[in-house]
Amino acid sequence: MKNITKKELNRIAKEYGYDPQYLEDQVLDWESDGIRVDAQDLEDYCANGDI
C-alpha cells in the first residue's frame, strides 16, 4: 500500500466497522488495477458504503 499506512488503515477499519485485512486487500486490488487510493479516499468509500 503506497499511500496508506497500516495505522491509518486500522483506524479507518475500526471507525467504520470493517476488517482491516479486508480493507488492505481492497486497496491492494485497486492499486494493482492502477487506481491510486489514499487514506482520505478510503475513509470516504467506507463512510459512503462504497466498498
- Provide the grid cell at 11: 483506524
- For the purposes of burial, counting CB atoms within 10 Å of the CB of 1, is it exposed (0-12), middle (13-18) or buried (19 or more)? middle
Checking if the pLDDT of 2 tops 90, the result is: no
Checking if the pLDDT of 7 tops 90, the result is: yes
What pLDDT shows up at residue 1? 81
Tell me the whole-structure pTM to 2 decimals.
Answer: 0.89
Encode pLDDT of 10-39 as tens digits.
999 999 999 999 999 999 999 999 999 999
- Provide the grid cell at 27: 486497496
What pLDDT shows up at residue 51? 85
